[in-house]
Amino acid sequence: MKPKQYQNIVFLTGAGISAPSGIPTFRGSNGLWNNYPLEDVATIEAFRRNPNYVHKFINELKPTILETLPNAAHYAITDMQKLCLNANIDVITQNIDTLHEKAGNNHVHHIHGRIDNARCERCGCILDVSKLEVNTKTICPSCKTIGRLKPHIVFFHEPILYTSIVDKLLEKVDLFIAVGTSGNVFPAAGFTTIAKQKGAKTILFDIEPSANPFFDEQIIGDASETLPKFVEERFAIH
């Protein structure tokens, strides 16, 4: 199939797409994550044990992440959405940053949540906390309960969000493009297999090759260089 004939295109993005913007992956850590041991701040058990410690971590991280700007890989997705007006193009992201939105991407699904949101565990409302430091004394503006706000982030050992949307997208996907994701974090790591089984063409953009046999094509290099080039070469009108 020619690139432009794809009708249902799904991007799966991971930490690697935001690395060129300066938000490191966990493995390529440069100080953003390693001031706190991940097992003390990134698991649901850690949050239940010591919520204020986890809130402190998030409150310190949030301004840096929210100040970060998108890079050419994020903008390439916007370009593709503008170039392929007849196709459905969705972005499933594992990232908690908001760089897809800042770059103008549409149809972004944050399966691991967003750092600028919190959810009240009592009434379920989701709040914009981009300018608010949440802690165990924060009052939910909706139900007025004290101390039940949880960062709207999927911690390790919690289920992902938007599973029914993901299931629907993977049911009909015909082009599946993974960008900057190591394939170590499940269930997202299994999406490539599902897409391939549904008959989609599957492509990986990463700085490291993957051993996953379900990728038809692997484009190795910095996604901020390889993805714009791919969109220009295969989707732009010449």
Distances in whole angstroms, Cα of residue 230 to Cα of each of 13, 42, 72, 162, 226: 16, 34, 12, 28, 6
Q: Does 207 engage in binding with ligand NAD (CB under 6 A)? A: yes
Which one, 7 or 26, has the nearer CB to ligand NAD?
26
Q: Does 70 engage in binding with ligand NAD (CB under 6 A)? A: no
Q: Does 25 engage in binding with ligand NAD (CB under 6 A)? A: yes
Q: Which of 15, 54, 87, 177 binds ligand NAD (CB under 6 A)?
A: 15
Q: Is 100 a catalytic residue?
A: no
Q: What is the C-alpha separation between 69 and 98, in angstroms, rounded? A: 9
In the complex, what is the shortest distance from the CB of residue 130 to ligand NAD, in angstroms, rounded to a whole number? 15
How far apart, in Å, do the first and last CA atoms of the chain sit?
18
Q: What is the C-alpha separation between 105 and 216, in angstroms, rounded? A: 25
Which secondary structure element, helix H or strand E, spans residue 203, and what is its range?
A: strand 201-206
Strands 126-128 and 113-120: antiparallel
In the complex, what is the shortest distance from the CB of residue 184 to ligand NAD, in angstroms, rounded to a whole number? 5
Which one, 21 or 138, has the nearer CB to ligand NAD?
21
In the complex, what is the shortest distance from the CB of residue 140 to ligand NAD, in angstroms, rounded to a whole number? 25
Per DSSP, helices labelled H in the chain are 15-18, 38-41, 44-49, 51-67, 72-83, 99-102, 163-172, 191-197, 223-235
Q: Does 185 engage in binding with ligand NAD (CB under 6 A)? A: yes
In the complex, what is the shortest distance from the CB of residue 213 to ligand NAD, in angstroms, rounded to a whole number? 16
Binding site for ligand NAD (CB under 6 A): 14-16, 18-20, 23, 25-28, 94-97, 112, 180-182, 184-185, 205-208, 222-223
Q: Which residues are designated catalytic?
A: 112
